[in-house]
Amino acid sequence: MTEVSIERLTKTFGSARAVDGISIRIADGEFISLLGPSGCGKTTTLKMIAGFEEASEGAIRFDGKDVVNVPAEKRDIGMVFQNYALFPHMTVDQNLAFGLEMRKIAKPEMLSRIAKVLDMVQLGGYSDRYPNQLSGGQQQRVALARALVIEPKILLLDEPLANLDAKLREEMRVFIRDLQRRVGITTVYVTHDQAEAMTMSDRVVVMFGGRIAQIGAPSDIYERPENLEVAQFVGQVNLVRGTILGGTITGPAGAGKSRVASVFGDVAVDSRADHAPGTAVTLSLRPEAIELKPAGQGGAQGKVMARYYSGSIIDYRIALDSSETLHVQTFPNIRIAEGDRVSVHAPADGFWLLGAAQ
């Protein structure tokens, strides 16, 4: 049961600041993801929490106690690596026993703990296999079991699903998430895959260039991105130009909204900050929020440039008559073909005001 507090954590390599003064408070039992492109400092942050990298500045507290000067082997963490890092010369049992031996756990307890954890990861009966006799997914579960069997204070995962194929990856997401809930262990998960971060985490930390761009619940990050960079990283997004109109919006539904004139008419758009009337702004519009109808049914008018069928959804590229291009995702039950003219409707709650236009 551990609360982790990261305070102004910095890591410099020469003059480069890989991690630049980040602060995160992780609640007991929380599942936090560090999400960002490669080189954003997420792995370096994880390694500092684990103790494999020395922090240049700042503090890392486990339940209020600064662990910056505690070596990795004394931090009591469980770590899962991208390539699993199972000891190839040891059986599954021996891999799991290793951490318990380091803790001088008595043999009977050791055996019962190993059996319990193997059962939890659904690998009972695999005790005597060597890692090279297991599939990728099984190895991943052994790695998870090895990290959990020592009952660490926190669980750290470094892109653990990156080496698995797509179907297995989706299964493992759910598996890891459920397991984490059941065990109730504080977890930090590093990934560059936004879908993974969204489905698994209580909160997502989006990082760019060693800094935190936004911390929030997955829905927060997706629906109310702090800036264009975040919006583009966590999903596909259309950018729509607009101008702030004067006048206030009244009523509880209008709180925090701005009236914006755009190609879709006047819309009341959610925003974080107020802008003066007349300001040119950029709105984001998620592709799945847009509705396509046959031409002549109101809304903005345009033409279908391309259509990509992918089973559960269809992707459309629409060229609006106002010369903007839109990316639209719909369920495959509408019959609109390439070259068709269409009416494009966007509900007000599909928009988000990103900020003043650049």
Partner 1 sequence: MKRPVLTLYCLLVYAFLLAPILVVVGASFNAGNFLTFPPQGLSLRWYVTFFHNDVFMRAIRTSLWVAAVATVISGTIGTMAALYYVQHAGRWKEAVRIAMLAPLLLPEVLTAIALLFFVYAIGIGTTTMIGMVVGHVLITLPFVFINVSASLESFDPSWDMAARSLGAGRLTRFRRIMLPLIKPGVIGGALFAFIISFDTFTISFMLKGIGTSTLPIQLFDYLRTNFTPEAAAVSTVSIVLTLVVVIVSEKVLGLRIHRF
Spatial strand order in the sheet of 65-66: 16-26, 4-13, 57-62, 65-66
**Binder to partner 1 among 36, 58, 78, 160 (CB under 8 A)?**
78
Min dist. Cβ of residue 141 to partner 1 (A): 15
Question: DSSP readout, 87-105?
Answer: -TTS-HHHHHHHHHHHTT-
**Residue 67 and residue 263 in contact, taking contact as beta carbons nearer than 8 Å:** no
Distance of closest approach, residue 5 Cβ to partner 1, in angstroms:
20
Nearest approach in angstroms of CB 79 to partner 1 is: 4
In the window 284-313, what residues touch partner 1 (CB under 8 A)?
none
- Residue 135 makes contact with partner 1 by CB under 8 A: no
Q: Is 24 in the site for partner 1 (CB under 8 A)?
A: no
Min dist CB 43 to partner 1, Å, is 12
The contacts of residue 160 (CB under 8 Å, 6+ apart) are 80, 81, 82, 140, 143, 144, 172, 176, 189
Taking CB under 8 A as the rule, does residue 102 contact partner 1? yes
**Contact between 83 and partner 1 per CB under 8 A:** yes
When binding is defined by CB under 8 A, the residue of 15, 16, 69, 89 that contacts partner 1 is 89
String of DSSP letters for 211-255: EEEEEE-HHHHHHS-SSHHHHHHSS--EEEEEEE-SSPPPSGGGT
- Interface residue with partner 1, options 98, 228, 243, 319 (CB under 8 A): 98
Q: Which two tokens stand for residue 140?
A: 């991943």
What are the structure tokens assigned to 334, written together?
Answer: 């509408």
Check binding of 132 to partner 1 (CB under 8 A).
yes
What is the total count of residues that contact partner 1 (CB under 8 A)? 30
Task: Spell out the residues 6+ positions from residue 341 whose beta carbon is closer than 8 angstroms to its own.
Answer: 295, 301, 302, 303, 304
Q: Quote the least distance from Cβ 101 to partner 1, whole Å.
A: 9
Q: For residues 75 and 203, which CB has a smaller minimum distance to partner 1 in the complex? A: 75
Task: Report the nearest approach of partner 1 to the CB of residue 72 (Å).
Answer: 4
CA distance linking residue 126 with residue 55, whole number of Å: 39
Binding residue (CB under 8 A) for partner 1 from 42, 113, 146, 224: 146
Q: Which of 48, 79, 172, 188 binds partner 1 (CB under 8 A)?
A: 79
Which residues would be at the binding site for partner 1 (CB under 8 A)? Answer: 50-52, 71-79, 81-83, 85-89, 98-99, 102-103, 131-132, 146-147, 150, 156
